[in-house]
Each structure stands twice: as structure tokens, then as C-alpha cells.
């Protein structure tokens, strides 16, 4: 929901970032206010995942210029765990598996780390069990998944659901979902979308990175951005996604959008 007077959650100015010496982000500008849902679309290789990983603080990526202000603080000065604890959440395009660590324990440790960062007391095991079982309903996840190793042997769709469960637990101020729709069948897509919609409030913001317009039938964005060659080259409303679906990308900025 757009409210011009809402506070700014994320402000990215002239962001440049490299991986292994190659510049991928080349002057990216992006601004998100509370209550908004943004979609970032673009061809493969345009830098969408790189952008999400730079925001999360992935160590492979080096920021060479620009600034990222998250709720008034310099996000780039924070360590990855500090970013998470301050309310940035990234659902990975390829969620990691953690053999030998139960999903329940992993989620409890993550949740308690967030509480500790806010000077709140750790939740005890029994209260946590009630909480996580309640949150599992948001993504219609069977509680048996809580006692399996994190993402190990999960199908693509189950991993994506598990990412949204993490989000439901941590309730971030800024959630960045990188191709959370990829690999989902229509029922899972509806469940995941319904979870994201339930978690969207006037005080937080969601950034959906997606290849396909399909997701945006279920999670309706306030803004749609097109990324090409490490920059946002066009911004529009939700109708832009439909236009991209029917016309492709090469009409936007032919020399930049076609890789
Ligand atoms: P998108 O998510 O839009 O498909 P990516 O951000 O994944 O794009 O990739 C953008 C470009 O950066 C691609 O050319 C990709 O090969 C390159 N790239 C991304 N991560 C790495 C990495 N860790 N090492 C080398 N190249 C990378
Ligand atoms: Mg990607």
C-alpha cells in the first residue's frame, strides 16, 4: 500500500558492487517505504540476486561505491548477523541445507538471537514450540518438518515454504524474497503468497525478486522495477509486469536490457 507519508525503510543510492573483480551492480538506486511491496524483475544475469546478497552482507560481494540506508542506519557498516538482527530478512533463491541441525533448533536459535539483539529474554523451549507450531500454520507446513534437518531432503517447494516460515517467525521490517516462486506448483504458490500477504503490514516492506508475472497475481506489488546490467532501468506500477510478460524486455532499453 502506498502512503507518501510513510517512513523510508530502505534507501539505496548509486550502489556499485563487484564479485571476483567483476562489477555487477553499476549504480543502482532504489527506495522503499513502510507498507510497500516492490517487485524487481529482469532477465537472468541482470544482477537481481547479487543485489539481494549485497543487502544481506554476503562475503563474496564487495561494495565499491554508493550507500544503503536501512531505517536510518548505514546498513553496509553492519555485519551480516547484525543486519538480520536489525530487521533485514533474505529468502535465498537457493536455500541452504544444514544436515544434522533440526529445523526447530535452527529456528529457535535464530529467534533467540533476534531477541537478544533487542535486549529481550530468550524464549524457553516449550513456549517456542507453541510459537513455531502456530507460525507453521501460516505456510501450512506440517509440524513434522520441524524435526527434520534444515532443508535436507526438502523438495524445492518445501524449501521455499520453510523460508517463509523463517520470515513468519522473525517478522522482519524488510523481507527480500529471491525467486521464492520458482519451482512452486500452483497450490504451493498460493500458500506461499498467502503467507507473504498475511505478513505484510503498514509498518514493514517486502521486495519480491521474480522472473514471472504469475507470482504478482497473488502478491500484488505497489511498484514493479526492471533491472538490467546492474541497474534499475524502469519503474512502473503492477501493470508493468503484465506488459513485460507480453512484450518481453527488449522494448525497455534495448542496448541495456538485452544481455
Ligand atoms: P540474476 O539474479 O538477475 O539472474 P545474478 O545476480 O545471479 O543475476 O548474476 C549477475 C551476474 O553476476 C551474472 O553474470 C553472474 O554470473 C555473476 N555472478 C554472480 N555471483 C557470482 C559469483 N559468486 N561469482 C562469479 N560471478 C557471479
Ligand atoms: Mg537470481
Q: Using one digit for the tens of pLDDT, what is the confidence trace for 15-44?
A: 999 999 999 999 999 999 999 999 999 999
Among all ligands shown, which has an atom nearest to the Cα of 53? 1
**Structural domain count, the chain:** 1
Q: Is residue 2, in this structure, part of any structural domain at all?
A: no
Whether 62 lines ligand 1, by a CB cut-off of 6 Å, is no
Is the minimum distance from the CB of 59 to ligand 1 under 6 angstroms?
Answer: no
Sign, CA torsion 189/192/196/198? positive
68 belongs to a structural domain: yes
Q: Is residue 67 assigned to a domain?
A: yes
**Pocket lining: 21 vs ligand 1, CB cutoff 6 Å:** no
Burial 197-225, CB ≥16 within 10 A → b, else e: eebbeeebbbbbbbeebebbebbebbbbb
When pLDDT is averaged across residues 179-195 and rounded to a whole number, the result is 91
Ligand 1 centroid to Cα of residue 80, in Å, is 19
- The pLDDT tens digits for 116-175 are 999 999 999 999 999 999 999 999 999 999 999 999 999 988 999 999 999 999 999 999
Q: Is residue 219 part of a domain?
A: yes
CA of 176 to the centre of ligand 1 (A): 17
Please give the Cα distance from 175 to 186 (Å, whole number).
22
Using a 6 Å cutoff on CB, does residue 206 contact ligand 1? no
Does 160 fall in a domain? yes
Domain annotation covers residue 20: yes
Closest CA to 110 of 89, 94, 136: 89
Q: Which CATH number belongs to the domain containing residue 210 in this structure?
A: 3.40.50.300
**Domain presence at residue 3:** no
Q: Is the pLDDT of residue 219 over 70?
A: yes
What is the residue-averaged pLDDT of the chain?
Answer: 93
Ligand 1 pocket check for 79: Cβ under 6 Å: no
- Residue 79: partners with Cβ closer than 8 Å, 6 or more residues away: 57
Q: Is the CB of 20 under 6 A from ligand 1?
A: yes
Residue 137 within a domain: yes
Per-residue pLDDT band for 4 (boundaries 50, 70, 90) equals confident
Q: Tell me the three-class secondary structure of 33-65, residue by residue.
A: ECCCEEEEECCCCCCHHHHHHHHHCCCCEEEEE
Q: What is the 22 CA–ligand 1 centroid distance (Å)?
A: 10
61 or 4, which is more confident: 61
Domain span including residue 240: 8-257
Residue 231, helix vs strand vs coil: strand
Amino acid at each position: 500500500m502506498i502512503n507518501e507519508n510513510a517512513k523510508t525503510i530502505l534507501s539505496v543510492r548509486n550502489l556499485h558492487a563487484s564479485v571476483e573483480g567483476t562489477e555487477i551492480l553499476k549504480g543502482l538506486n532504489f527506495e522503499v517505504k513502510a507498507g510497500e511491496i516492490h517487485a524487481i524483475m529482469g532477465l537472468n544475469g541482470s544482477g537481481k540476486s547479487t543485489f539481494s546478497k549485497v543487502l544481506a552482507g554476503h562475503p563474496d560481494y564487495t561494495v565499491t561505491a554508493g550507500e544503503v540506508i536501512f531505517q536510518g542506519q548505514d546498513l553496509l557498516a553492519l555485519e551480516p548477523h547484525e543486519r538480520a538482527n536489525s530487521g533485514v530478512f533474505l529468502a535465498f533463491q537457493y536455500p541452504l541445507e544444514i544436515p544434522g541441525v533440526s529445523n526447530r533448533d535452527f529456528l529457535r536459535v535464530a529467534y533467540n538471537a533476534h531477541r537478544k539483539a533487542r535486549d529481550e529474554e530468550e524464549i524457553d523451549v516449550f513456549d517456542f514450540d507453541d510459537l513455531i507450531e502456530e507460525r507453521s500454520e501460516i505456510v501450512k507446513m506440517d509440524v513434522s518438518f520441524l524435526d527434520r534437518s534444515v532443508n535436507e531432503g526438502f523438495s524445492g517447494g518445501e524449501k521455499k515454504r520453510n523460508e517463509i516460515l523463517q520470515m513468519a517467525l522473525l517478522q522482519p521490517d524488510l523481507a527480500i524474497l529471491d525467486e521464492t516462486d520458482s519451482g512452486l506448483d500452483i497450490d504451493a504458490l498460493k500458500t506461499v503468497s498467502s503467507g507473504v500477504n498475511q505478513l505484510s503490514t503498514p509498518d514493514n516492506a517486502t521486495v519480491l525478486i521474480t522472473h514471472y508475472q504469475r507470482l504478482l497475481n497473488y502478491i500484488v506489488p505497489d511498484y514493479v522495477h526492471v533491472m538490467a546490467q546492474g541497474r534499475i532501468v524502469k519503474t512502473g506500477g503492477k501493470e508493468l509486469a503484465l506488459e513485460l510478460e507480453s512484450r518481453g524486455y527488449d522494448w525497455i532499453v534495448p542496448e541495456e536490457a538485452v544481455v
